[in-house]
């Protein structure tokens, strides 16, 4: 994900804003995310994904679809992958990158709001890339949080896993926070956060939904994987901006700009500053993850071969 974000920052990637189909009365939506990366053999990618909020009640991920990988030279399809799995893995990996760039070095308590697919992948990704003393979990009920904590405790290493009754209880004193919910209204409030907290806001990917209240976003340094996506799609930003809390300059930088050392891009300004990574997800992230999976499949003989020609 680091390499993919740097490539985009350096202009090696062509990627338009995703197209979203929201039919009236439909239970969900479909998004189309095309991308081209000029410097790799599998340079064309397209993710066609549906998001259906009611899916977890049926035991399904909210995200369903495919990722198509195609040859740079010929356009020949090379692979079709499960978009749900790709999205799960790459989203958490990017949040782990953001955490490494923006969280305080001494932050060793992680709070996760949510108990679904992305909550699990963020538990594994951030817990697997940072030495943590404690991981706290809060969901829509204490029982859900307890089950989630019990299921993932074997993967926590030396960290203590705690199921919390409320989101407020989970985030108080935590240096790293992940919001990974389907909520359309804030699950987090500014007064709950300690100075220096870093947030990965993952769940609100539509302009009419948000996980963070206006005071949190307005009082923090805001970063994104794409500035264009944040301004157009992130409800955490769009709703607060519509209330007059700030303007477009409130987005300090993109992660790729920080990684590439672009002029004017800088990270945390002080130990007490609250930072937010607004995660919208990019097609280049899907392409990068899919390309890795494709190469592993070729090397190991995993998957089903088909004749696309």
The predicted-structure confidence for 245-289, as pLDDT tens digits, reads as follows 999 999 999 999 999 998 888 999 999 999 999 999 999 999 999
Number of neighbours of residue 147 by Cβ within 10 angstroms: 15
Please indicate, yes or no, whether residues 270 and 122 belong to a single structural domain of this protein.
yes
Quote the CA–CA distance of 189 and 167 in Å, as a whole number: 9
Quote the CA–CA distance of 139 and 114 in Å, as a whole number: 5
Q: Quick one: pLDDT at residue 61?
A: 85
Please indicate, yes or no, whether residues 233 and 132 belong to a single structural domain of this protein.
yes
Query: CB neighbours of 237 closer than 8 A, spacing ≥ 6?
Result: 217, 222, 230, 231, 250, 251, 278
User: Are 123 and 139 a contacting pair, CB within 8 Å?
Assistant: no
Q: What's the token pair of residue 36? A: 């081209």
The predicted-structure confidence for 32-56, as pLDDT tens digits, reads as follows 999 999 888 999 999 999 999 888 8
Quote the CA–CA distance of 165 and 155 in Å, as a whole number: 22
- State the angle between helix axes of 83-102 and 283-300 in degrees (0 to 180), rounded to the nearest 10: 120
Quote the CA–CA distance of 119 and 240 in Å, as a whole number: 25
Q: Give the CATH number for residue 134.
A: 3.40.50.720
Q: Quick one: pLDDT at residue 309?
A: 59
pTM of the model: 0.93
In a domain, 309, yes or no: no
Q: Quick one: pLDDT at residue 265?
A: 87
Q: Quick one: pLDDT at residue 63?
A: 87
Please indicate, yes or no, whether residues 220 and 115 belong to a single structural domain of this protein.
yes
Please indicate, yes or no, whether residues 137 and 29 belong to a single structural domain of this protein.
no
Q: Residue 216 pLDDT > 80, yes or no?
A: yes
User: Are 104 and 113 a contacting pair, CB within 8 Å?
Assistant: no
The predicted-structure confidence for 70-108, as pLDDT tens digits, reads as follows 999 999 999 999 999 999 999 999 999 999 999 999 999
How many domains does the structure of the chain reveal? 2
Higher pLDDT: 126 or 54? It is 126
User: Are 280 and 226 a contacting pair, CB within 8 Å?
Assistant: yes
Phi, psi of 290 (to 5 degrees): -65, -40
Q: Give the CATH number for residue 27.
A: 3.30.1780.10
The predicted-structure confidence for 154-206, as pLDDT tens digits, reads as follows 999 999 999 999 999 999 999 999 999 988 899 999 999 999 999 999 988 88
What is the average per-residue pLDDT within 197-226?
94
Q: Residue 57 pLDDT > 90, yes or no?
A: no
What is the average per-residue pLDDT within 280-299?
96
Q: What's the token pair of residue 156? A: 């926590």
Q: Residue 308: pLDDT band by 50, 70, 90 thresholds?
A: low
Q: Quick one: pLDDT at residue 206?
A: 84
Please indicate, yes or no, whether residues 134 and 227 belong to a single structural domain of this protein.
yes
Look up the domain containing 8 and give its range.
2-86+284-300
Q: Quick one: pLDDT at residue 59?
A: 86
Q: Quick one: pLDDT at residue 304?
A: 86
Higher pLDDT: 182 or 223? It is 223
């Amino acid at each position: 994900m680091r390499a993919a974000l740097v490539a985009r920052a350096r202009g090696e990637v062509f990627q338009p804003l995703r197209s979203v189909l929201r039919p009236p009365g439909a239970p969900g939506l479909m998004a189309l995310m095309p991308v081209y990366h000029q410097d790799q053999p599998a340079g064309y990618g397209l993710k066609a994904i549906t998001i259906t909020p009611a899916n977890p009640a049926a035991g399904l991920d909210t995200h369903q679809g495919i990722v198509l990988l195609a040859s740079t030279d010929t356009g020949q399809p090379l692979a079709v992958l499960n978009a749900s799995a790709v999205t799960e893995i790459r989203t958490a990996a990017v949040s782990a990158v953001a955490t490494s760039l923006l969280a305080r070095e001494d932050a060793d308590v992680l709070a996760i709001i949510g108990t679904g697919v992305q909550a699990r992948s963020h538990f594994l990704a951030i817990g697997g890339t940072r030495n943590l003393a404690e991981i706290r979990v809060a969901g829509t009920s204490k029982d859900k949080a307890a089950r989630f904590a019990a299921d993932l405790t074997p993967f926590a290493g030396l960290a203590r896993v705690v199921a919390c009754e409320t989101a407020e209880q989970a985030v108080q004193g935590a240096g790293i926070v992940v919001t990974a919910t389907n909520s359309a209204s804030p699950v987090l409030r500014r007064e709950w956060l300690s100075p220096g907290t870093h947030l990965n806001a993952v769940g609100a990917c539509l302009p009419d939904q948000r996980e963070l209240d206006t005071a949190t976003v307005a009082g923090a340094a805001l970063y994104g994987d794409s500035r264009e996506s944040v301004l157009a799609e992130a409800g955490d930003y769009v709703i607060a901006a519509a209330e007059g809390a700030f303007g477009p300059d409130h987005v300090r930088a993109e992660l790729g700009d920080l990684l590439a050392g672009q002029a004017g891009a800088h990270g945390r300004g002080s130990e007490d500053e609250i930072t937010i990574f607004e995660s919208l997800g990019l097609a280049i992230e899907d392409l990068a993850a899919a390309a890795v999976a494709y190469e592993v499949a070729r090397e190991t003989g995993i998957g089903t071969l088909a004749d696309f020609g």
